[in-house]
Amino acid sequence: MKKVIIFLVIVIALFVAVGFLTKMQNEEKVSEDNVYKKDTLHPETAAQLDDPHYQNIILPDELEEKLNNNEDVTVYFFSPTCPHCVRTTPIVAPLSEEMGIDLVQFNLLEFEDGWDDYRITETPTIVQYKDGKETERITGFQEKEVFEEWFNQNSK
Protein backbone atom coordinates (compact mmCIF):
# COMPACT_ATOMS: atom_id res chain seq x y z
CA MET A 1 0.00 0.00 0.00
CA LYS A 2 2.86 2.34 0.79
CA LYS A 3 4.34 1.83 -2.70
CA VAL A 4 1.02 2.71 -4.36
CA ILE A 5 0.76 5.96 -2.41
CA ILE A 6 4.35 6.89 -3.26
CA PHE A 7 3.71 6.08 -6.93
CA LEU A 8 0.54 8.23 -6.96
CA VAL A 9 2.38 11.15 -5.33
CA ILE A 10 5.12 10.92 -7.96
CA VAL A 11 2.60 10.80 -10.82
CA ILE A 12 0.67 13.78 -9.43
CA ALA A 13 3.92 15.71 -8.95
CA LEU A 14 4.88 15.02 -12.58
CA PHE A 15 1.51 16.28 -13.85
CA VAL A 16 1.84 19.44 -11.75
CA ALA A 17 5.39 20.01 -13.03
CA VAL A 18 4.37 19.53 -16.68
CA GLY A 19 1.41 21.90 -16.21
CA PHE A 20 3.61 24.52 -14.57
CA LEU A 21 6.25 24.31 -17.34
CA THR A 22 3.61 24.56 -20.05
CA LYS A 23 2.10 27.61 -18.39
CA MET A 24 5.54 29.25 -18.12
CA GLN A 25 6.29 28.54 -21.79
CA ASN A 26 2.96 30.04 -22.89
CA GLU A 27 3.50 33.13 -20.75
CA GLU A 28 6.99 33.59 -22.17
CA LYS A 29 5.72 33.19 -25.72
CA VAL A 30 2.87 35.65 -25.11
CA SER A 31 5.23 38.25 -23.67
CA GLU A 32 7.58 38.00 -26.67
CA ASP A 33 5.13 37.90 -29.58
CA ASN A 34 2.02 39.54 -28.19
CA VAL A 35 0.44 41.61 -30.96
CA TYR A 36 -2.76 41.61 -28.91
CA LYS A 37 -1.31 43.89 -26.22
CA LYS A 38 -2.96 41.81 -23.47
CA ASP A 39 -1.31 40.29 -20.41
CA THR A 40 -2.93 36.90 -20.91
CA LEU A 41 -4.17 35.13 -24.01
CA HIS A 42 -6.30 32.07 -24.48
CA PRO A 43 -4.04 29.06 -25.12
CA GLU A 44 -5.54 28.66 -28.61
CA THR A 45 -4.53 32.23 -29.48
CA ALA A 46 -1.07 31.79 -27.98
CA ALA A 47 -0.58 28.73 -30.17
CA GLN A 48 -1.23 30.85 -33.28
CA LEU A 49 1.22 33.65 -32.50
CA ASP A 50 3.92 32.15 -34.73
CA ASP A 51 1.56 30.90 -37.44
CA PRO A 52 2.23 32.88 -40.64
CA HIS A 53 -1.49 32.85 -41.49
CA TYR A 54 -2.33 34.90 -38.39
CA GLN A 55 0.00 37.87 -38.70
CA ASN A 56 -2.35 40.66 -39.79
CA ILE A 57 -4.26 41.07 -36.52
CA ILE A 58 -6.29 44.22 -35.96
CA LEU A 59 -7.23 45.36 -32.48
CA PRO A 60 -10.74 46.65 -31.68
CA ASP A 61 -9.59 50.25 -31.24
CA GLU A 62 -7.73 50.19 -34.56
CA LEU A 63 -10.76 48.81 -36.42
CA GLU A 64 -13.07 51.31 -34.77
CA GLU A 65 -10.73 54.14 -35.78
CA LYS A 66 -10.64 52.99 -39.41
CA LEU A 67 -14.43 52.78 -39.55
CA ASN A 68 -14.87 56.17 -37.85
CA ASN A 69 -12.44 57.66 -40.42
CA ASN A 70 -14.66 56.26 -43.20
CA GLU A 71 -11.89 54.01 -44.53
CA ASP A 72 -12.31 50.97 -46.73
CA VAL A 73 -11.32 47.82 -44.87
CA THR A 74 -11.77 44.07 -45.34
CA VAL A 75 -12.06 42.25 -42.00
CA TYR A 76 -11.77 38.54 -41.34
CA PHE A 77 -13.59 37.73 -38.09
CA PHE A 78 -12.38 34.42 -36.70
CA SER A 79 -11.96 32.37 -33.56
CA PRO A 80 -8.96 30.11 -32.92
CA THR A 81 -11.36 27.50 -31.52
CA CYS A 82 -13.56 27.44 -34.63
CA PRO A 83 -12.83 24.37 -36.81
CA HIS A 84 -14.20 26.15 -39.90
CA CYS A 85 -11.82 29.06 -39.27
CA VAL A 86 -8.91 26.64 -38.95
CA ARG A 87 -9.81 25.32 -42.42
CA THR A 88 -10.55 28.76 -43.91
CA THR A 89 -7.57 30.80 -42.75
CA PRO A 90 -4.96 28.86 -44.79
CA ILE A 91 -7.10 29.61 -47.85
CA VAL A 92 -8.00 33.29 -47.38
CA ALA A 93 -4.76 34.58 -45.85
CA PRO A 94 -2.50 33.61 -48.79
CA LEU A 95 -5.25 34.35 -51.34
CA SER A 96 -5.76 37.89 -50.09
CA GLU A 97 -2.02 38.45 -50.10
CA GLU A 98 -1.74 37.16 -53.70
CA MET A 99 -4.59 39.46 -54.73
CA GLY A 100 -3.09 42.50 -52.99
CA ILE A 101 -5.94 42.78 -50.47
CA ASP A 102 -5.16 43.92 -46.94
CA LEU A 103 -7.29 41.38 -45.06
CA VAL A 104 -7.11 42.34 -41.39
CA GLN A 105 -7.93 39.65 -38.85
CA PHE A 106 -10.16 40.22 -35.81
CA ASN A 107 -9.90 37.54 -33.11
CA LEU A 108 -13.35 37.08 -31.56
CA LEU A 109 -12.03 34.74 -28.87
CA GLU A 110 -9.85 37.52 -27.44
CA PHE A 111 -12.25 40.38 -28.15
CA GLU A 112 -15.71 38.94 -27.52
CA ASP A 113 -17.48 42.32 -27.81
CA GLY A 114 -16.86 42.03 -31.55
CA TRP A 115 -19.69 39.51 -31.84
CA ASP A 116 -22.25 42.16 -30.93
CA ASP A 117 -20.37 45.25 -32.13
CA TYR A 118 -20.14 43.92 -35.70
CA ARG A 119 -23.24 41.68 -35.72
CA ILE A 120 -21.24 38.49 -36.22
CA THR A 121 -23.41 35.40 -35.94
CA GLU A 122 -20.94 32.74 -37.07
CA THR A 123 -17.29 32.29 -37.84
CA PRO A 124 -15.54 32.64 -40.10
CA THR A 125 -17.04 35.85 -41.44
CA ILE A 126 -15.39 38.28 -43.84
CA VAL A 127 -16.91 41.75 -43.98
CA GLN A 128 -16.17 44.45 -46.53
CA TYR A 129 -16.49 48.04 -45.33
CA LYS A 130 -16.54 50.92 -47.81
CA ASP A 131 -16.34 54.44 -46.46
CA GLY A 132 -16.62 52.96 -42.97
CA LYS A 133 -19.95 51.22 -43.70
CA GLU A 134 -20.56 47.52 -44.21
CA THR A 135 -21.32 46.73 -47.84
CA GLU A 136 -20.99 42.95 -48.05
CA ARG A 137 -20.16 39.83 -46.04
CA ILE A 138 -19.44 36.16 -46.60
CA THR A 139 -19.75 33.56 -43.87
CA GLY A 140 -18.68 29.99 -43.25
CA PHE A 141 -16.17 27.74 -44.93
CA GLN A 142 -16.06 28.08 -48.71
CA GLU A 143 -13.85 26.77 -51.47
CA LYS A 144 -10.95 28.94 -52.65
CA GLU A 145 -12.75 29.87 -55.88
CA VAL A 146 -15.74 31.23 -53.96
CA PHE A 147 -13.51 33.45 -51.82
CA GLU A 148 -11.55 34.59 -54.87
CA GLU A 149 -14.75 35.61 -56.66
CA TRP A 150 -16.02 37.37 -53.52
CA PHE A 151 -12.76 39.30 -53.12
CA ASN A 152 -12.86 40.30 -56.80
CA GLN A 153 -16.42 41.59 -56.51
CA ASN A 154 -16.10 43.32 -53.14
CA SER A 155 -12.53 44.21 -52.24
CA LYS A 156 -11.04 45.68 -55.39
pLDDT of residue 1: 76
Q: Where are the alpha helices (DSSP H) in 34-104?
A: 43-48, 60-68, 83-98
The tens digit of pLDDT for each residue in 98-136 reads: 999 999 999 999 999 999 999 999 999 999 999 999 999
pLDDT at 3: 82
- State residue 94's pLDDT score: 96
List of the chain residues with pLDDT < 70: 22, 24-34, 37-39, 156
d(CA 151, CA 107): 20
pLDDT at position 32 is 54
CA distance 45 to 47: 5
Nearest CA-CA partner of 58 in 41, 42, 37, 40:
37
133: exposed, middle or buried (C-beta count within 10 Å: 0-12, 13-18, 19+)?
A: exposed
